[in-house]
Amino acid sequence: MRVFNFVSKSGDSLPLAQRVVDEGHRVVFYINDKDARLVGDGMIEKASTKGVLVNEGGTVNTEVFNQLLHPKPDCIIFDMVGKGFGKAADKFRAKGIPVIGGSQWSDKVELDRPYGAKMMKLAGINIPRTHAFTNYPEAIRFVEEKNKAYVYKPSGNQPTTTTYVSRGADDMIGMLEYYSNEVGEFELQEKVDGVEISTELWFNGSEVVNVNHTMEEKSLMESGGPKAGCMGDVVWNGSKDSKLFREGIGRMTSALKKLDYRGPIDLNTIVTKDRLYGLEFCPRFGYNALFSFMMIYQGNVNDLLYSIASGVAKSLPVNKGFGLSVTFALPPFPLDIEPEFSKDILIQGLNKSNLKYIWFYDVYKKGRDYACAGNGGDLGAVTAYGDTIREAKRRAYRTLFNVVVPDVIYRRDIGDRVGNDIAVLKQWGWL
């Protein structure tokens, strides 16, 4: 039996930890955010320490750090990037403990967008013309002068709901005026029309052991609406021989080897008939893509985590079909206001059969009942596997329709565009 220590920012890796427990191993689950610590109660063993490992300034608390070394873990999982979290992950590595999911480089390449763009340029990955700003009036003058459509992207830990894809100069200017109370650096990226796809590789410190692709829906509603991170996605396995890999994330392998990087990292891209444009890195577990990937992954979760973290994995056993996920949530999701609004609303209709395909986020157990923990309302993801996208979608929604949650929010169109987009990419020679 192995001991796994999950260091979670706000509970995102709870369902992953539950799978490791189901496989017969011990998990100690620690949540850094005190306001989110109800997540997982009654579902998983929690760390005994009540302290905060990483404070808002990014400082690592040595006392809490030492407490998380007991019981001695065989593997430590970090589930999210964030100021100071990568530093904590590297401190655990320095103790000789296998760690997956976090590093100081990971924090920088995702949260510092200009640095991420620099890494793409150094690797030879094309990027759309991008301009960094800290001053909103200056950005407004820039858009007025260029009179083009841009994509607004926040840097650092600003909410994903502030990401905005404009139709033209006028609506971009209006949104910049609206966002002008935000503090921090942001980017305006020239809008490129094409097929959006993420390509992820799993790296063991020295080589690529798997490649897979993701197409996701980021908007809350089928017609658009605020960006919600991920409302659902489709994942399928890829190849190191594809043009999509070679001209995209594959160009990062030399850098990842020098960094001794261990874990998944994906590159979100826009692909046209002739060119690939890198948009952003995700050097960590992607949600919900990780759970969709678990639908095509044939091995044990604990072996996946441990073998990648320790560097011994050489390949991953993966099916040829499709994994699909659908996010289901409650208000105020995806807005970061009144996070406890839906606290204690029950999730019913659960049984041993469908729990295998449900990956909970903002959930805890009240006795025998599952309920919202009041951490923003993102309840989780429902997943399924299928030989075809249509089959995976049918199975996922069948599970979701049997789950009873008052006022539940989810999209009904996950996977609908993916088949056509894959066909286009194959026609263009990318897959």
- What pLDDT band is residue 227 in, cutting at 50, 70 and 90? confident
Residue with structure tokens 């990292």?
A: 265
Once rounded to an integer, what is the mean pLDDT over residues 282-305?
A: 97
Residue 214: closest CA among 116, 107, 293, 321 = 293
pLDDT at 179: 87
| Beta-carbon-side half-sphere exposure of residue 288 (alpha carbons within 13 Å) | 33
Handedness of CA 305, 319, 236, 399 (dihedral sign): negative
Taking alpha carbons only, the member of 107, 110, 315 closest to residue 212 is: 315
With a cut of 80, say whether residue 376 has pLDDT above it.
Answer: yes
Buried b (16+ CB within 10 A) or exposed e, 408-423: bbbbeebbeebeebbe
Beta strands per DSSP E along 238-317: 262-271, 276-282
Residue type, 33: D
Predicted confidence (pLDDT) at residue 33 exceeds the cutoff of 70: yes
191 in Cβ contact with 166 (< 8 Å): yes
Q: Please state, in angstroms and rounded to a whole number, the distance separating the CA atoms of residues 278 and 270.
A: 7
Give the integer Cα–Cα distance in Å for 191 and 129.
Answer: 9
Per-residue confidence (pLDDT) for residue 277, from 0 to 100:
97
Report d(CA 282, CA 81) in Å as an integer: 9
Indicate whether this model's pTM tops 0.85: yes
CA distance 55 to 66: 16
Q: What are phi and psi of 175, to 5 degrees?
A: -70, -35
Tokens of 183: 């503090």
155 band by pLDDT with thresholds 50, 70 and 90: confident
Please check whether residue 244 is in contact with residue 213, taking contact to mean a CB–CB distance below 8 angstroms.
Answer: yes
Does 226 sit behind a cis peptide bond, omega within 30 degrees of 0 on the bond before it?
Answer: no
pLDDT at 271: 97
Mean pLDDT of 318-340: 95
Mean per-residue pLDDT over the chain, rounded: 95
| pLDDT of 58 strictly over 90 | yes
Distances (CA, A) of 41 to 69, 72, 110, 278: 21, 22, 30, 39
Cβ–Cβ under 8 Å, residues 107 and 85: yes
Q: Which of 181-190, 221-230, 242-251, 420-429 has the lowest mean pLDDT?
A: 181-190
Residue bearing tokens 């995806």 = 334
- List the structure tokens of 104: 């100081």
**How does pLDDT run across 388-408, given as a tens digit for each residue?**
999 999 999 999 999 999 999
DSSP states along 382-430: EEEEESSHHHHHHHHHHHHHT-B-TT-B--S-TTTTHHHHHHHHHHHT-
List, as one string, the DSSP characters of 203-247. EESSSEEEEEEEEEEEEEETTEEEEEEEEEEEEEE--TTSHHHHH
Provide the pLDDT for residue 410.
98
pLDDT tens by residue, 85-122:
999 999 999 999 999 999 999 999 999 988 999 999 99
